[in-house]
Amino acid sequence: MAAQTILFDFTLDKDKTSDEKQRLEVAKILRNELEHVFPQLELAYSMESPENGYFAVLHENKDTVITCRIFQHGLLTLNVEYFLPDGKDGISFDTMRTVELILRQKFGCDRSKYLPPIKRGGYIDIYMTSSDERIIEYDIDQVVYEARSPFQKIQIMHSKTLGNMLLLDELQNIAESDLIYTETLMCRGVENYEGKEICILGGGDGALLYELLKENPKHVVMLEIDEIVMQACNKYLSVICGDVLEKRKTDQYEIIVGDCVEYLKKFIAEGRKFDYVFGDLTDIPITDAPVGETWDFIRTIFEHSFKVLKPGGKYLTHGNGSTCKVQLRLFEEQLDLLRPKVKYTTTKAFVPSFMEEWLFYQVTFA
């Protein structure tokens, strides 16, 4: 069950909406045409303002509510809202598209836009945002798993085209479709992991560990704080993690459940060094300045990670969407402040479940 919101925009000649008489004539045309689709339509409320234009609320048996706004500059917006119980068919695409075309003809305008139903208030939330805050609608049809750990809300949703997807605090993390994400993060085909010692910070979905083990490293240690994430991914995302989350320690790898910062401090005290450190943790924050808890955490990870890297070692991490120019620049400025100095390269990949291009960093000592 969910409320359905259908949106229409019409761009009229502003001479047709510049005064009260003309706006009322446009409103009359609108109501006459809508009555063909909603035959029991009644006017609930209207307001006319010489400065702000015309506003009206109409309803059909109080089940369907339509709001209309006519701006004096030539823009007419129309919102149709109704509640749709499970198993019931909503207003068809053909019907609404026909309404748009008829109104465009009646208004004598050549610019209009119809947005199909936005589903609001349902149990399954199918909308998320890209890194630069564009709305993305997913073809999610099932909540596979849902739990809350001491650290975050954990969900696994099923998408018809992307497979099972891991969401943490309602943000998309990885899906069965996203091998390209892991391969770009690890620079597969470029980096040689054979016989190397590797540390993964985070990585609770198991995908990075699973793919790295195929490269025959000497040993991998993974530091993940959330046991429940690993249990969920082991059960519902085995396509991307295989069986590596079944065990916490083998000859090839060890998964340590705990705070990665505390374990990095321990490694530093022990003098333990790695050929590669992966930052598979939080994304670069979408902020206008490098301040706040998450930025402090990123700087802490930098400080400790480079202390456990061998002289020729590399730190590899994901960044954020490649359209987030300001935030990526802020991240790079933090890298430039590190001492001893570092240098970095970047790679890009279009990640299917993110529905956008993502930037990845490869950082070495200068």
Q: What is the token pair recorded at 251?
A: 């000859």
For residues 233 and 170, membership in a common domain is answered with no
Whether 247 and 265 map to the same domain: the answer is yes
Q: Last residue of some domain: 75, 93, 120? A: 120
Q: In this structure, how many other beta carbons lie within 10 angstroms of the beta carbon of residue 252?
A: 14
Catalytic residue positions, numbered: 280
Please report, for the domain that includes residue 56, its CATH number. 3.30.160.110
The type of residue at 131 is: S
Q: Looking at the structure, do residues 252 and 289 belong to the same domain, yes or no? A: yes
Nearest to 3 by CA among 61, 90, 115, 98: 90
Does 356 lie in the same domain as 248? yes
Residue 93 lies in a domain: yes
**Domain limits for position 159:** 133-174
What would the pLDDT profile of 54-88 be if each residue is shown by its tens digit?
999 999 877 899 999 999 889 999 999 999 887 78
Per-residue pLDDT in tens (0 to 9) along the chain, 366 residues: 789 999 999 999 988 998 889 999 999 999 999 998 898 899 998 998 867 789 999 998 778 999 999 998 899 999 999 998 877 888 889 999 999 999 999 999 989 999 989 999 888 889 999 998 999 999 999 999 999 999 999 999 999 999 999 999 999 999 999 999 999 999 999 999 999 999 999 999 999 999 999 999 999 999 999 999 999 999 999 999 999 999 999 999 999 999 999 999 999 999 999 999 999 999 999 999 999 999 999 999 999 999 999 999 999 999 999 999 999 999 999 999 999 999 999 999 999 999 999 999 999 999
CA atoms within 13 A on the CB side of 100: 22
In-domain check, residue 40:
yes
Whether residue 94 is found in the same domain as residue 147: no
Determine whether 187 is exposed, middle or buried from the number of CB atoms within 10 Å of its CB (0-12, 13-18, 19+): middle
Report yes or no on 125 lying in a domain: no
**Is 225 domain-assigned?**
yes
Q: Given this model, what pLDDT does residue 271 score?
A: 97
DSSP SS3 for 306: coil
Please give the pLDDT value at position 123. 84
Q: In terms of domains, do 203 and 319 share one?
A: yes
Same domain, 325 and 216: yes
Q: Would residue 127 count as lying in a domain?
A: no
Within a domain: 341: yes
pLDDT at 87: 73
Domain presence at residue 331:
yes
Give the three-state DSSP class for 234.
helix
Q: What is the CATH number of the domain that holds 266?
A: 3.40.50.150
Q: Are residues 162 and 191 in the same domain?
A: no
Note whether residue 353 is domain-resident.
yes
Specify whether 104 is located in the same domain as 219.
Answer: no
Closest CA to 208 of 232, 260, 173, 235: 173
Q: Based on the domain organization, do 12 and 42 belong to the same domain?
A: yes
Q: Could you tell me if 190 and 224 lie in one domain?
A: yes
**Number of domains the chain is built from:** 3
Give the pLDDT score at 10: 97
Give the rounded distance of the alpha carbon of 70 from its chain centre. 34
Alpha carbon distance 72, 31 (integer Å): 18
* pLDDT for 90: 84
CATH number of the domain at 146, please: 2.30.140.10
